Amino acid sequence: ASPTSRSVVSFNSLNRTNVILQHLRMSKHTDAAEVLLERKGCAGVITLNRPKFLNALNLSMIRHIYPQLKNWEQDPETFLIIIKGTGGKAFCAGGDIRVISEAGKANQKIAQDFFREEYTLNNAIGSCRKPYVALIHGITMGGGVGLSVHGQFRVATEKSLFAMPETAIGLFPDVGGGYFLPRLRGKLGYFLALTGFRLKGRDVYAAGIATHFVDSEKLGMLEEDLLALKSPSKENIADVLDAYHAKSKIDQDKSFILEEHMDNINSWFSANTVEQIIENLQQDGSSFALEQLKIINKMSPTSLKITLRQLIEGSSKTLQEVFTMEYRLSQACMGGHDFYEGVRAVLIDKDQSPKWKPADLKEVTDEDLNNYFKSLGSNDLKF
């Protein structure tokens, strides 16, 4: 080739390299922009920034949040950590389940990495030595619950919407659900886990999911007051939250939505098998009982059985032991049928009629169940 044509070639390849580099820089920037991590005043502030996707949590976000959380925990100038979502509709509507489903089907490692790193982050929140304030305004489900419920302070608003709807997609209420759900009052957590029942507004506080309730229009002021604290202690932070909570008048006199049903819920969901819970609901025959029965009958039979055992076992485990158990369950679900079928029916084709396998509770044997809870040996999640 002549010198001229060679220089054209090298110019072209140089150009291509620049384009690739530029693309890489942009994609890194885009990744980072899905979650904003800023030091403001006395606090480290995490902002989930995927409003179009209701701030659904993906692996890239987890990988940005975890090391920063650990840095702030060590930093003597950072006195608290605040986490919130953008867009006003959702704090975080859950994990990016669609992506995980596609990866799991293709047998890609992301299905292992996502759950492993998500639970590691959830555990870091649960054991964080700095006060952690989650502003759970808007939809807070699944993975969003994992980013908030294990922290010291959770602030709900009248727009909060909490649910753990995993049994409807062939999964189970993970992110530490096996720890916090059986510790809610009575059998409330068992009811929420098996039915996916949605709690709204002040009910999220009444149920014990949130520690405080604040009018949504005051959230900005609350955050400013927290950031303006000078070297605050946990007590100083609690005082600010308590003051806002005390001033909130929205639905102040409304009783908890499930209050009138709590005695029944405690009795129905005390059973040790899903079959017995179903029989309890059938025998009761009230419209509320039959409504719950209808919902439970739509769920994955395998998920229902896994979930009940997860909560019974989790009720006496530490948070870390629960995450180890849930990681085993997540990997077993990735190797099963119902998770992919649930995601297809609910999120992809949206026909809302999943074909579960097995389709009947009777066909989910104890042996099947034991396999879900089996140790993964050297692949177990360890802390």
Distances (CA, A) of 300 to 194, 203, 297, 337, 380: 10, 27, 8, 10, 25
Q: What are the residues facing 125 on neighbouring strands? A: none
Q: Is the peptide bond before 165 cis (omega within 30 degrees of 0)?
A: no
Pull the structure tokens for residue 248.
């909130």
C-beta neighbour count of 87 within 10 angstroms: 15
Report CA torsion sign: 114, 173, 86, 76: negative
Q: What is the DSSP secondary structure assignment for residue 214, as one 8-state letter?
A: -
Confirm if 267 and 133 have CB atoms less than 8 A apart.
Answer: no
Is residue 362 classed exposed, middle or buried when 0-12, 13-18 and 19+ CB atoms within 10 A define those classes? exposed
Which residues are known catalytic residues?
A: 95, 143, 166, 174
